[in-house]
Amino acid sequence: MKCVNCGGEVESQAIRCPYCSSRNEAGISFHKEVYAKIQRNRLLAPLLLRQQTPELVQRLLTRIILAMGILGIIFIGISLGMILLMEELADSGRMPVRGSYAAEYAEIMDVYDNAPYGRWKMYLNEFMDAWDSGKAIQTYHIEQVIYYGFNVYYDTDMDAQLQEQAKREVDALLEGILQLNEEELVLFHKADEQYTYLRVPDSQAQQQLISLIEAKLATRLEEE
């Protein structure tokens, strides 16, 4: 894209023009949107915790979650400060200190762009945007979130720690949000048996699961 000030070539996700240092409003808006989605995803944390914790400690978790809520408010304030810090760093031409919050935020798009996890997060965000707004979720979005959810669940090349996080997010969507039962979950995990060395989702099982999810979503809209 072109800089509105000097006409130089500017990356669409850049915060500043590399030639005249003018603010790139499109890049700033993009990073703010990514940040907002990251914060929205943090709301899934209590559900993920409940899935990993025995029922006997639920009362203790309730207190912990309340404390997390307070810390979350503090974290949002700190994070907003980091955004302002990043803009100041862009003005000065310096890179953020490695390991800092600013560096973590600056590098997050690299993680999303270069890993299968990125596509899963993109389609999960689109799915949850429609879910949160109470709008009808298109079949395309259901197909993509199921397909890429399977991919990150069984990707043999993904970083182990990142894959564990992806699996927890997929389980939270399927079991927590969509409330699929065991038989329906079997459809999600079923692989195409004709592939020996590569785990590929069974297309018929996924299509059956997508139809079941569409029925669940239609019932949800009618109840609302």
Structure tokens at 91: 């003005």
pLDDT digits (tens, 9 = 90+) for 162-200: 888 889 999 999 999 999 999 999 999 999 988 878 889
Q: Which of 211, 220, 51, 210 is nearest to 146 (CA)?
A: 210
Rounded to whole angstroms, the Cα distance separating 130 from 127 reads: 5
Select from 9, 37, 13, 45 the least CA-distant residue to 26.
Answer: 13
**pLDDT of residue 90 exceeding 50:** no
**201: β partners:** 191
The CA dihedral of 111, 112, 113, 115, to the nearest 10 degrees, is 70
- Token pair 């979130």 is found at 145
Note the pLDDT tens digit of each residue in 93-142: 444 455 554 444 445 545 554 467 878 888 888 888 888 888 888 999 89
Vertex 222 angle, CA 218 and 224, to 5°: 115
CA pair distance 130, 169, nearest whole angstrom:
17
Q: Is 133:205 a contact under the CB 8 Å cutoff?
A: no
**Mean pLDDT along residues 11-37:** 71
As a whole number of angstroms, the distance between CA 125 and CA 151 comes to 16
What percentage of residues in the chain have a pLDDT greater than 90? 24
Handedness of CA 201, 204, 209, 214 (dihedral sign): positive
Burial classification of residue 117, based on how many CB atoms lie within 10 Å of its CB (0-12 exposed, 13-18 middle, 19 or more buried): buried
Using one digit for the tens of pLDDT, what is the confidence trace for 49-86? 565 555 555 667 777 888 787 887 887 877 666 666 55
Structure tokens at 29: 């808006």
As a whole number of angstroms, the distance between CA 2 and CA 183 comes to 53
Cβ atoms 168, 48 nearer than 8 A: yes
Nearest to 132, CA basis, from 44, 6, 1: 44
pTM (2 d.p.): 0.51
